[in-house]
Structure 1
């Protein structure tokens, strides 16, 4: 972020406006794909393309890379540049050591550079005790040196002044802590050239980035299929997975016996949790909303107009699967949430929680197509998504203090 000084601010402008302008610049791109204009070598070329409804711009695709992890049912993006790109261009994923944005490394560096400002009370107390102990040692060492010098001068029959010794006994008012001197290196051999190097300071060592960006299966497939800007790597073969492999693996990973036995593709079902959640995720992403996890507010998704750094989420989404054929529900091997009718206690609780934080609760019903009408062969590709339907019911809690007008 750029440094804003009081002199550079325009009169009448608030401090928050500069932070908003920085966010508009950093998060200017709503998706990882960036449309950049071509070099205008020929002025008339863009005019001619405009006559045919074509734009004289090209698409910049970041081509990020992630590793599929079956245990967490997610995709890990370990490259910091890719993580920053996916977060700043659409707010995809979550930092494993952060609340949302992968900022663990930046916080560690900032903590080292501003250690004095970020210390807690226990650290301040320990620091003061260490400095007091160091002061006593320095004072005792200076007094011993002065006493030894005075004794040597007395043996020679002369009086030694303080100026002649050059030893200053520190006082509590003027003493300042200094870094303890490191032991001198061993003396080199006569034939070996000597090169004196200063030991590096701890503040100059950049810590290793222990954080990675974690994408949900819905986010990863949306980036790989819809935007073609994510390559997913198989953790066993270390090879790039094809789109068909990604689609089938993301479905099979939800089976209870995924790690114990190989699943047949004929066992794929339309009520797979990945399909149900991806239908909702793709539906709202295609409408321009930024979709984030809503587990903090007891819902499935949160919808943002531009992103978490600009505004709070306006809508809280609860995904409700609905079977077209009730017989398919009886043979379902998955533990689907919100299939049974809601209790009024649960619905009132969730609605009240989201009303208190100014969010509108939306029940998104996903109709699962019947297996008798749609063959399971369709599940081998994303073409099966056309058989799902999405319906929305908006709930608003009646608050007499706000709805009198």
Structure 2
């Protein structure tokens, strides 16, 4: 294992670009038919494809705040200096608004230990401007309402989940067809060698029985051509079930049918605290009192809820899981990365260069507390993970083509009770140190000299 320093900014890191994120590419059958058909047919087929959303325009703002960067200064152009000076003076005396006119409102959930955003305008704003949270009824982006409309036949718009399901089905069909051809090639070779004798298959026997039963007269009445009503009913029900599985409805639904959006945006505690404390665009409401929670109180609540069962505020330690995760979350967010939960890949966070709709996450972040301060020499520390745990995590990341980043967080000693710095969240966060190391799996037959 070798340890390297991870890049500090997103500009020096190469990302794996997604091939259309499944919105246009991935139709292998369609590509084969276009290659064998004529040129006008391929143009007409390409024109029928749904247009991919302009994600660069939808997600043009990386955070739910507005920034006003100064223009570049060109040394050989004196007018650029005048422009920079003019903007600096104008923004100093007349500062433009950076925050939205109305703060977003979210509700704290003690049961799920998360924060819920129910207003749909706030849901779209927080997702489109920074990829915060996830849909409570979706994998990532809150698209339950659109998917439900497609299932009921109220809308024909295809979503990312539809394209993903289509690609997976095509991949399964391709593998089944490849296995069938390989099996047929083996059987042909065995026939040529005389090791395989053709026998009546099950399909041929079933076809023989069906032909005999169709030639026999129908029982009960003399009309053999009368259709079986029970079989017809079963066939129709089977077609309806098949249509429902593919997201299609046999009969068109009424246009007057309306659906209520039952989905909300679910924010993790570190995401909600970053929006509330770091950016100041989110108000947290306590459902017990129906009042807004102060930042200090919300900070203590998050630290208390990071224990199970929730701990008393008097017994909080500087190495609680919320503090460690928020320090790392704030560290990468302040450097322009998009930070998402990494439980899917057995790590703490996944970091994206721009967002999940633009590229795959290249780095997987695992937080490791470090007790290097002399205060912790004679204190009880939580049990560290064994060596095989790190081996398993590293192997998982190499299989999914992610780079594992170990983030060591130096835990400071606890602050004195009643001190002014204890109530200063910024002073507490500054006492933490973050160190990044890129861990690469060492393979003997690939990395030997």
* TM-score relative to the length of structure 2: 0.60
Superposition CA RMSD, Å: 4.0
Of 394, 400, 405 in structure 1, the residue corresponding to residue 438 of structure 2 is 394
Structure 1 spans left out of the alignment, 5+ residues = 38-44, 119-124, 133-176, 180-200
Residues 375, 251 of structure 1: alpha-carbon distance in 2 compared, 3 angstrom cutoff: same
User: Greater share of helix residues, 1 or 2?
Assistant: 2
Aligned to 1:153: none
Residues 99, 51 of structure 1: alpha-carbon distance in 2 compared, 3 angstrom cutoff: closer
Aligned to 1:80: 120
1:230-261 alpha-carbon deviations (Å, 9 max, x no partner)? 00001111111111111111112234453xxx
Aligned to 2:204: none
Native 8 Å contact 2:99 2:281 kept in 1: no
Residues 355, 34 of structure 1: alpha-carbon distance in 2 compared, 3 angstrom cutoff: same
Of 355, 364, 370 in structure 2, the residue corresponding to residue 307 of structure 1 is 355
Aligned residues: 307
Structure 2 spans left out of the alignment, 5+ residues = 1-23, 25-39, 70-81, 163-231, 240-249
Per-residue deviation at 1:35?
4.2
SS for the counterpart of 1:214 is strand
1:355-404 alpha-carbon deviations (Å, 9 max, x no partner)? 12221101111111123xx3244443312111111111111123578769
Distance in 2, Cα, partners of 1:65 & 1:300: 26
Of 50, 64, 78 in structure 2, the residue corresponding to residue 32 of structure 1 is 64
1:299-320 alpha-carbon deviations (Å, 9 max, x no partner)? 0000100000000001100011
Aligned to 1:375: 416
What are the equivalent positions in structure 2 for 1:13-162 lying under 5 Å apart? 19=52, 22-35=54-67, 49-50=86-87, 52=89, 54=91, 57-61=96-100, 63-113=103-153, 128-129=235-236
Of 380, 393, 396 in structure 2, the residue corresponding to residue 353 of structure 1 is 396
1:11-32 alpha-carbon deviations (Å, 9 max, x no partner)? xx9999963x701011111001
Per-residue deviation at 1:271?
1.4
Is residue 2:396 matched to residue 1:289? Answer: no
Per-residue deviation at 1:79?
1.1
Greater relative contact order, per chain length (Cα 8 Å cut-off, separation 6+): 2
Distance in 1, Cα, partners of 2:385 & 2:301: 31
SS for the counterpart of 1:231 is strand
Distance in 1, Cα, partners of 2:400 & 2:347: 13
* TM-score relative to the length of structure 1: 0.66
Distance in 2, Cα, partners of 1:270 & 1:14: 59
Distance in 1, Cα, partners of 2:365 & 2:238: 55
